[in-house]
Amino acid sequence: MNPRPQRSIGEHGVIGNLSTAALVALDGAIDFLCWPHFDSPTIFASLLDPEQGGVFELAPMAPDAHAEQAYHPGTNILVTRWYTATGIAELTDFLPLAETDNHAAPVVMRRVHVIDGTVRFRLHCRPRFDYARTRPVCRPSGRGVVFEDHAGLALRLSGSVKIVHGDAEASAEWALGEGKSASFVLHNAADPLLGDAEIARSLKVNIERWRAWTGRGTLPQRWRAELMRSALVLKLLTSHDHGAIAAAVTFGLPEQPGGGRNWDYRACWIRDGAWSAAALLRLGHTEEAAAFLAWVRRMHRRHDGSLPVMAALDGQQVGEERALDHLAGYAHSRPVRIGNGARDQFQLDITGEWLDCIATADARGVTLQAEDWPEIVTQIGHVCAHWQEADCGIWEPRSGNRAHLHSRLMCWVALDRAIALAQDHALPLPVGLWRRTRALIHTDIWHNFRHPTEGYFVQAMGGTDLDAALLMLPLMGFVADGDPVWLATLDAIGSALVRDGRVYRYRTADGLEGDEGSFAPCTFWYAECLARAGRWQAAEAVMQAGLHLANPLGLFAEEAAEDGRPLGNFPQAMTHLAFINAALFLATGPQG
């Protein structure tokens, strides 16, 4: 038997229903899907282990087939087109959105259609439940098969052609002539069977619903298609049921092939979620920001007046970090981890990102409510009491706490935004304490986070290292875009952390083995900072380097290898939101 293929991270599209999402490879394989939620165990994970992970393959039986992928415009509905020696065929993949506010269980719908000639197809469905720890029993059932385990999970695969059951797998082979179609559905076995007409109707309805959502946004002409795709990714990562925004669809995809920096991003970080919601606000989408801020409000109350670094999408604590030792890992990158140890870290910056999101929302019609003010006062009290402490910082190293400039900056942002909100809404505040603390933080950053001889800003107190998180200084309004000390910092970052237009986070030891790729969000931060400094030509060059990190569908991973191949979890919210922010700013400049 030939070994099963290792599909690359970038050769995928993503589909979803605002409750979970699947990756669909260029060869028509669904090789990553958690069921029934983003953070549930996988039923397909061959991206992480081609032999054991489980997969749902559907493709022409033509070794010479050339494949291309594209989305139905304005949607998260994916089309894979094959050109073969005997004909041209398309596969449409989608997970229907809920028809009502009572969110439905996931349904994977797959429809093949022959445009020209005759094409012979093969289907192979081999689910592996519970992170590939369980081989389900497969039995025939009506027009298809049912996969079930002893824990009570039962999924039905049905279709318009005969499906043959096997040992924990099912298969089919058939030919279609020009103009003919075949449809397949994977869903909970207890749900009603769906026929071809119902699938066709669902496809039409879901195209309309996605386009209705994109139509509510406001996009500039420049980079319009790329901005729409990034907005659709952020929407796809948003939980319909809870309002939380996942950091990425996947877990375990490596920051270095063969390395051990393989994390679980199927949770909502307050930081990432706030930035995602703010980016959607800037594109004219307010409902997602309102839902996210309501989710944070619930987190605040659940955690007795404090904010966790992250939470599961339903608001529960993220699971303890542990390794799935039975999985080989993408490109043999191990361990494959689920859960996230950063949940227990002390990170001082999150109140700043949260308050900045509230201020952005308030300015765009999601008005701050007076009943929310006590929670803000509580969080600002925490900032006033702890801003001088060391923390783990934005990058969550495993090397211990330090006094990070980015964390101090976001403490300043928290106070700055809270003071402005109080003034705008005539809300009570300890004005003297808050203003004094804001001034103290400002002075502390200027005096204690500078290179001892060069004078530019540095990563941590007492150090000399640079950090791409310093790019937040002008983006958050702490320094003027043309301030000489800032410009010296920008130059230093360009010399130390930028290669071929791509930006690395830092060069310091972080307590972890191995290396990582360039960090795609920081590339877009850098482009925006260059533009704000009036260096438009350099900003355009960096922006183009960043855009080259997207796959042909416009999807970004977290990082990139030296040759530009995507690395890390995929698609990544932080990269898409950073692109949105940079593109909106550069669209106002000389080339816009």
Cα–Cα dist 77/21, whole Å: 12
Determine the average pLDDT of the residues in 169-183: 97
At 306, the pLDDT band (50, 70, 90 cuts) reads confident
CATH number at residue 17: 2.70.98.50
Weakest-pLDDT range from 3-17, 223-237, 310-324, 516-530: 3-17
* Residues near 430 by beta carbon (within 8 Å), at least 6 away in sequence: none
Determine the average pLDDT of the residues in 407-427: 97
Percentage, residues of the chain above pLDDT 70: 98
Q: Is the pLDDT of residue 103 over 80?
A: no
The pLDDT of residue 100: 47
Whether residues 339 and 472 fall in one domain: yes
At 497, the pLDDT band (50, 70, 90 cuts) reads very high
Whether residues 174 and 307 fall in one domain: no
User: What are the tens digits of pLDDT across the range 512-526?
Assistant: 887 899 999 999 999
Q: Is the pLDDT of residue 92 over 70?
A: yes
The pLDDT of residue 303: 81
DSSP state, 37? S
6 is a domain residue: no
DSSP state, 370? G
Tokens 């204690």 map to which residue?
448
CATH number at residue 234: 1.50.10.10
The residue among 181, 205, 229 that closes a domain is 205
Whether residues 160 and 224 fall in one domain: no
Determine the average pLDDT of the residues in 482-497: 98
The pLDDT of residue 523: 98
Mean pLDDT estimate for the chain:
95
Whether residues 387 and 361 fall in one domain: yes
Are 282 and 578 within 8 A, CB to CB? Answer: no
User: What are the tens digits of pLDDT across the range 376-395?
Assistant: 999 999 999 999 999 999 99
Determine the average pLDDT of the residues in 538-545: 97
The residue among 205, 238, 259 that closes a domain is 205
Cα–Cα dist 14/436, whole Å: 48
Percentage, residues of the chain above pLDDT 90: 90
The pLDDT of residue 105: 87
The pLDDT of residue 302: 85
The pLDDT of residue 5: 66
The residues facing 165 across adjacent strands are 170
Whether residues 332 and 423 fall in one domain: yes
User: What are the tens digits of pLDDT across the range 457-474?
Assistant: 999 999 999 999 999 999
Determine the average pLDDT of the residues in 288-304: 92
214 is a domain residue: no
Whether residues 367 and 443 fall in one domain: yes
Cα–Cα dist 145/166, whole Å: 9
pTM: 0.97
Are 11 and 74 within 8 A, CB to CB? Answer: no
Indicate the number of domains in the chain. 2
Query: Given the DSSP bridges, would you call strands 502-503 and 498-499 parallel, antiparallel or unpaired?
Result: antiparallel
Determine the average pLDDT of the residues in 358-387: 95
85 is a domain residue: yes
Which domain does 118 fall in, by range? 12-205
Q: Is the pLDDT of residue 102 over 80?
A: no
* Residues near 455 by beta carbon (within 8 Å), at least 6 away in sequence: 485, 488
The pLDDT of residue 572: 98
The H or E element containing residue 490 is helix 484-496
